[in-house]
Amino acid sequence: MNAYEQYMKEISQPMRNELTEAGFNELTSPEEVDQFINSADGTSLVVVNSVCGCAAGLARPAVRESLENGKTPDNLVTVFAGQDREATARMREHFTGIEPSSPSMALLKNGKVLHFIPREEIEDHEVEEIVTNLTKAYNQYC
């Protein structure tokens, strides 16, 4: 690992922890993504994490808050755009017809996207709006 990669790993660790401490499993390789997609039962929330400001100030806080009450997905996983590139690319292969976007969130069942929240529905929105968007999807599909 070169100095830049090491620096970015150290910088991004608290951003990773924000989701793993909320119960998310990190998928860091294409093989882990494949294993998850092929074995996951029920609904799954996939968060495409990012180092950008809207991930820090909006996406991660909204995701965490959305899981605090009511229905929630059966599985919580995350890939990190710009960090775990191959895993992120493999996960995005399952977002058929959806442009790559980070941060973003996808609600899946049997490897198929039921609901997707792209960056455009995160950036310049309030945390409460994103929580409402997620909660509606959980209530409909979970």
User: What domains sit in the chain, N to C, each tagged with a CATH number?
Assistant: 22-141 (3.40.30.10)
- Mind telling me the catalytic residues? 52, 54
Mean of pLDDT values over 89-104: 96
Structure tokens at 56: 């820090």
Res 10: pLDDT: 87
- Going along the chain, which residue ranges are E strands? 25-26, 43-49, 75-80, 104-109, 112-117
Average pLDDT for residues 4-20, to the nearest whole number?
A: 89
Residue 1 has pLDDT above 80, yes or no: no
Q: Which two tokens stand for residue 2?
A: 């070169």
Confidence label for 69 from pLDDT (cuts 50, 70 and 90): confident
